């Protein structure tokens, strides 16, 4: 919520004729944290897996196991040459 909306909300709340009990309830519920559910994503790799993949890619490059785009070759042509398209 932006600052103007928050100020309008505050002005509205202050204009209400609330009992002490209602004010206490409102204060408790305004600041109550929202319940969130964490859902594991089985397709997302862990930080350890990510860095292991980076390390393996570096080893492959060091062994010369990589492909480069030829001068003047389009990306589409390179992918066709590699059998990816």
Residue 18, C-beta contacts closer than 8 angstroms, at least 6 positions apart: 26
37-79 per-position pLDDT tens digit: 878 888 899 999 999 999 999 999 999 999 999 999 999 999 9
Q: Are 18 and 30 in contact (CB under 8 A)?
A: no
Tokens coding 80: 């066709």
**Residue 31 confidence class, pLDDT cut points 50, 70, 90:** confident
70: burial class by Cβ within 10 Å (0-12, 13-18, 19+)?
A: exposed
Residue 3 has pLDDT above 90, yes or no: no
Separation between Cα atoms, residue 6 and residue 17, nearest integer Å: 19
pTM, two decimals, is 0.45
């Amino acid at each position: 919520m932006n600052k103007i909306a928050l100020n309008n909300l505050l002005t509205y709340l202050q204009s209400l004729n609330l009992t002490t009990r209602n004010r206490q309830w409102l204060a408790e519920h305004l600041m109550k944290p929202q319940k969130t559910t964490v859902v594991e994503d089985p397709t997302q790799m862990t930080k350890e897996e990510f860095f292991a993949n980076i390390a393996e890619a570096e080893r492959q490059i060091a062994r010369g196991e990589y492909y480069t785009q030829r001068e003047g070759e389009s990306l589409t042509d390179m992918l066709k040459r590699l059998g990816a398209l």
